[in-house]
Amino acid sequence: MPEVMTQEKSRLLNGLLSEKLRSDDPVHHKQAADVINEYIRTQVKEDSYLDKIIEPYPIQADELDRVIHTDKPTKVVDVEPESQAGYTVGYGGSPDRLWLRGRRFPVTAARLQTRKYAKDVSELRTWHMDLRQVVSDNAIRDLLAEKDGNFIAACNKIVGPADTVMPHSGTIQHKAMSGDITRDAIMEAFKVLQSTPGSHKAEKVLLNHNTILDLSKIAQDEWGNDHPGDIMANGWTKDKLNGADLIVTIKRNQVPDKNFYWFPNQIFIGKNFEFTPTTMHVKKEYFLVEFFAYLEFGCGIANTNGVARTDHR
């Protein structure tokens, strides 16, 4: 759970940070960076829905693969080959030969970074608001939005336009559902992912914070218990839907209202490699302080049957 900052705590923290930044001791600069780094890492884990769908793996230099044409970081990942169906043969028949082959895909890295923020350290002392929140909102969330935006763009590319049969699965992976969000509609939506050749059961469902309220409107006779009353009193408190983890995002520009994205277990999706964790660079010169954050990651979806989307009215 994120720490709740009182105004007094914020003032104390900003004062501490300001003192460290005003110091000429490089050790203090490191400590100032560490204060921010510690918080940032918590925010990344909480706020990137990509990281909740495919857990990031911090890859080390000795795990990278070398290729001839570039020295930019690359990791080659094997993909499980599809097996051929068995067949009936009469007595005396011999099996057809099939040479073993398989697929691989490269995961390559790129860097995300924030703008570089500059400030006179004396001005920092006049702020009563939570400076860490400002840093988080203005800088780190930009990185996370970019990261998640890339992921959802990849998902949309895979599932294609609504009600279109995709060549890789031979099924519709993006279904426009008729009617509103009801129990029947939700259960029908669960079928979309598991109808692909992979027969994947949806284990993670991505939706936005408005859609969760639509889900909350399902009538009591459909729930069959007092859940609606509990929702009215306490809000949505369940973290699962039909056994799948609910991942609720506030990024409505990426995950529109009444849209659901369905994912199987992460081993059936792809890889999410963390090449450089979110890092805050702080530089102080005279009375000016500058800081920016960056991270490097590489991610790819190798199993295009492992994503589905449903749009409800």
Provide the binding-site residues for another protein, judged by CB under 8 A.
50, 68-74, 79, 103, 105-111, 116, 147, 150-151, 153-154, 157-158, 160, 166-168, 270, 272, 297-302, 304
CA distance 52 to 288: 37
What does the chain come to in residues? 313
Give the residue with the Cβ less far from another protein, 2 or 106: 106
Spatial contact of 284 and 17, defined as CB atoms under 8 Å apart = no
Amino acid identity at 205: V
Closest separation in Å from C-beta 299 to another protein:
4
Closest separation in Å from C-beta 56 to another protein:
11
- Tokens representing 80 are 């499980």
Give the residue with the Cβ less far from another protein, 80 or 120: 80
Q: How many angstroms separate the Cα of 242 from the Cα of each of 162, 186, 238, 245?
A: 24, 9, 11, 9
Closest separation in Å from C-beta 141 to another protein:
17
Give the residue with the Cβ less far from another protein, 111 or 238: 111
Helix (H), strand (E), coil (C) string for 60-105: CHHHCCCCCCCCCCEEEEEECCCCCCCCCCCCCCCCCCCCCCCEEE
Closest separation in Å from C-beta 170 to another protein:
9
CA distance 312 to 119: 46
Closest separation in Å from C-beta 302 to another protein:
5
Give the residue with the Cβ less far from another protein, 123 or 290: 290
Give the residue with the Cβ less far from another protein, 65 or 239: 65
CA 210 from centre of chain: 18
Closest separation in Å from C-beta 55 to another protein:
14
Phi-psi domain of 268 (left: phi exceeds 0; alpha: psi -120 through 50; beta: other): alpha
Query: Long-range pairs for 61-66 at CB < 8 Å and ≥24 separation?
Result: 65/106
Give the residue with the Cβ less far from another protein, 153 or 187: 153
